[in-house]
Amino acid sequence: MKHLIDPTDLTRAETDEIVALGEAMYANPAAYAETMRHKKLGTLFYEPSTRTRLSFTAAMMELGGNVLGFADATNASVAKGESVGDTARVISCFADILAIRHPLEGAPFEASMTSLVPVINAGDGSHNHPTQTLTDLITIQKELGRLDHLTVGCCGDLRYGRTVHSLIKAMARYEGVRFVLISPEELRLPEDFRREVCEKGGIACREVTSIEEAISDLDVLYMTRVQKERFPSQEEYERVKDCFVLDAAKMALAKERMAVLHPLPRVNEIAVEVDADPRAAYFRQVEYGKFVRMALITKLLEWKERDTPSQRGLFSDAALRCTNPKCITNADPRTPRRFRRQPDGTLVCACCDAKAASLK
């Protein structure tokens, strides 16, 4: 079955098809207004979400479908101790497609292993957020007219920010895309991610510590919020919380044709004065996000019989464990531990992609 757990669960061609359908839906929503009549989207939101959950809800409503589910896990059966796998299995009996958000990494993967219907990862911990990536891609396509030969600056919390991780994975597949990583030392892109995705994939990644150093080269500036909720302590968060602020003075150094994206919510990282700049695309991005989610729901149901790359080549080994403490397999021991062998022989956890280690 086709699920969207990792951005690379969609091939580049499938991604392009979804973005193109999203653009067609944006241009003529009325033509799609009845296409999901009698279909139901199940939303399983175990972590606070406004934009993503409402965007999914609005997307399904625009297509004439219905939505059921929960926005607060404390009121759901999880409060009685139900596992994510069981909840997904149960709700998949009531819905045609599921969207799940969870603070634990790998929870949507586990849901995809038990669900009877396609599962969409709506954000898992610091791991992935593939529908934000589709939103980012449609925005770049609409603002700049292409997804290749771009210099993309990712600024802010590159360590805990799942949207950046997914965006890099997806955009690395387009020709001539280069990344400039703008972060303080404490919030650099995780070393393993850099090695696996950037170095092994031969992706050009330059690291800098200020916006000014990079902004004049950029076609896209992807700003992010410092992910307060993922920090081990308040002090560590306080040290870096206002590390970068994009303002009009910095925008004056940028190309005339650059797009500023932000997955939102914004805290302090973009001064309000930037909103009036025509290059500020972040509110248009919200609108495009609804249309690309409409396209995703439509295509996943159409492609239901296709397989999911992140579910390929899995095996169990009772002597192995995942090394990521935020992985669902460590937080909830009922979750089956499954692993995958990378092309270079490394063993990784199938849920969260972290390295596997021997239990001994």
Q: Which residues bind ligand ASP (CB under 6 A)?
A: 51-52, 123, 129, 132, 162-163, 225, 263-264
> Nearer Cβ to ligand ASP, position 3 or 162?
162
The conformation of residue 29, written as its DSSP 8-state character, comes to G
If you write DSSP's letter for every residue of 82-128 in order, what string do you get?
A: --HHHHHHHHTTT-SEEEEEESSBTHHHHHHHH-SS-EEEEEETTTB
Closest to ligand ASP by CB, 87 vs 163, is 163
Of 133 and 329, nearer to ligand ASP (C-beta) is: 133
Query: Shortest approach of ligand ASP to residue 112 CB, angstroms?
Result: 19
Q: Can the peptide bond before residue 309 be classed as cis, meaning omega within 30 degrees of 0? A: no
Q: Strand locations in 113-170, DSSP E?
A: 119-124, 151-155
- 206: which strand partners? 180
Structure tokens at 210: 């200020």
**At its nearest, how many Å lie between ligand ASP and the CB of residue 52?**
6
Cβ of residue 23: shortest distance to ligand ASP, in angstroms?
Answer: 22
Minimum CB–partner distance for residue 51 and ligand ASP (Å) = 6
Q: How far is the CB of 210 from ligand ASP (least distance, A)?
A: 21
Indicate the residue among 36 and 189 with the shorter CB distance to ligand ASP.
189
| Sheet strands (E) in 127-270 | 151-155, 178-182, 204-208, 220-223, 259-261
Half-sphere exposure of 280 (CA within 13 A, CB side): 18
Instruction: Pick the closer one to ligand ASP by CB: 196 or 269.
Output: 269
32, two tokens: 């799609």
Closest CB to ligand ASP among residues 92, 166: 166
Give me the residue label for tokens 């038990």: 114
CB 271 within 8 A of CB 248: yes
Least distance in Å: CB of 273 to ligand ASP? 21
Cβ closer to ligand ASP: 8 or 163?
163
Pair type for strands 347-349 and 339-341: antiparallel
Nearer to ligand ASP by Cβ, of 118 and 263: the residue is: 263
Minimum distance from residue 312 beta carbon to ligand ASP (Å):
26
Tokens of 297: 């729901």
CB 14 within 8 A of CB 303: yes
Count of CB atoms situated within 10 Å of the CB of 207: 15
From the CB of 219, what's the least distance to ligand ASP, in Å?
21
CA distance 136 to 259: 11
At its nearest, how many Å lie between ligand ASP and the CB of residue 122?
A: 8
Q: Which is nearer to ligand ASP, 169 or 225 (CB)?
A: 225
**DSSP-derived pairing of the beta strands 66-70 and 40-45:** parallel
Cα(233)–Cα(224) distance, integer angstroms = 20
Q: Give the helix/strand (H/E) hosting 214.
A: helix 211-214
